[in-house]
Amino acid sequence: MTFSTSLLAACFLSSCGQGEKELEVPEDLPESFAINSEVEKTYSENLKVIRESLPAERYVDMSFLPEDGDYSAPEEKGPSYELTVGLPWIFNDQHAPLYIAQALGYFEDEGLIVDLREGGPGRNPLALLAGGSVDIAISSSGNAIVRLAASATGADVVAIAAMNRGSGYSWLAMDEDTPKEQRSDKVLTPADFYGATVGIQEGADMAMTFFLENFPYLKDKVKFTRAGFTPDLLVVGTIDFYAAMYENQPRLIEGQGFKNWTAFRFSDYGLTDFANVHTVSREMAETQGPVLRRYLRAVGRAVQLMLDDPKQAAEITKGYSTTTQLTIEQILRRFDLQRSMIEASPGMPILYAPLDTWDRIASQLYTYEQIEF
């Protein structure tokens, strides 16, 4: 069973939102968000389909990571090996661990000569991986890996690590009850979305459907419109919510002098993903295991440095982020916002992406008709 996304055509810009700021919030509206049990039941049912037809073991292999989470320097350098790594976006602070590993000689300690290839429009690292132009592709989203695995014509790739565990996808709002120079501690409720306008970007269909299916009492009370890559419309009040990545756009709002933002984080309600996923061809996974272990040890060591000494990490990152004009403060703010998604947890070292979470991602994609068999 899947949920149809056809309702989105009707929702967009019109019938799923009345756009009236003076709507009276009904007294029986829930005081907090609660996941629709029928939706969760559907995920569970579809999870069985996924584990039969597309289990994570087919396209994910975390065995190249150290079991004990020890990313310390090797005792001796491995044999020389050249690697080309395709980044998902332009040279900015999203890829900080790779710059750190390059600048501090972590790759060199492993005997690796690493060439970082900038991504951006028209330079999809997964496409470059499929075409043999790069050895390792870093994808901004784990969803893309699952889609490839589910596609009859997709490339045969294997995910070997993920820096961010849990989706940063959020709908940001300004807390008008908090002075702009103070951070907000407001917890959003359904009432905050009643009659609201949400500015979203391309590719948000699944998030929109997830929201409307789980909180059906808002289905005809929320209006969706297109928004750009910056939160300017939110800051000036043209829209009430802005779809963003939690680790990125909030610092842009703060850069304009507004600290009083708050967020509806989709990961808090079960819509999850991985970010900055390191992926290789199946052939490389099967033939170059020692090289991949050395590569991931260097990356993991760099991630640990970023967590332990963010100031040094930020200074290195600023020097490599040549395509963007980032300040040390902006970089440090990203590190702070994404820390909880990166840090190790009991039994799960940094960079480890659990198979059961991959299966849930696939189940959600199947539920919302993003993949099929």
CA atoms of 247 and 333, how far apart (whole Å): 8
Give the pLDDT score at 135: 98
Q: Could you tell me which of 106, 151, 144, 108 has the C-alpha nearest to residue 128?
A: 144
User: Tokens for 63?
Assistant: 């065995």
3-state secondary structure of 115: strand
The tens digit of pLDDT for each residue in 287-339 reads: 999 999 999 999 999 999 999 999 999 999 999 998 888 999 999 999 999 99
What mean pLDDT, rounded, does the chain reach?
92
pLDDT at 4 over 70: no
**What DSSP string runs through 78-107?**
PPPEEEEEE-SSSSSGGGHHHHHHHHTTHH
User: pTM for the full model?
Assistant: 0.92
Give the pLDDT score at 360: 95
The answer to whether the beta carbons of residues 271 and 166 sit under 8 Å apart is: no
What distances in angstroms separate CA 97 from CA 304, 350, 366, one per listed residue? 9, 12, 32
CA atoms of 98 and 275, how far apart (whole Å): 15
The tens digit of pLDDT for each residue in 9-36 reads: 445 544 454 444 567 899 889 999 999 9
pLDDT at 210 over 90: yes
Q: Could you tell me which of 204, 141, 219, 146 has the C-alpha nearest to residue 170?
A: 204
The answer to whether the beta carbons of residues 257 and 174 sit under 8 Å apart is: no
CA atoms of 297 and 273, how far apart (whole Å): 23
Give the pLDDT score at 229: 86
Q: Could you tell me which of 160, 76, 158 has the C-alpha nearest to residue 111?
A: 76
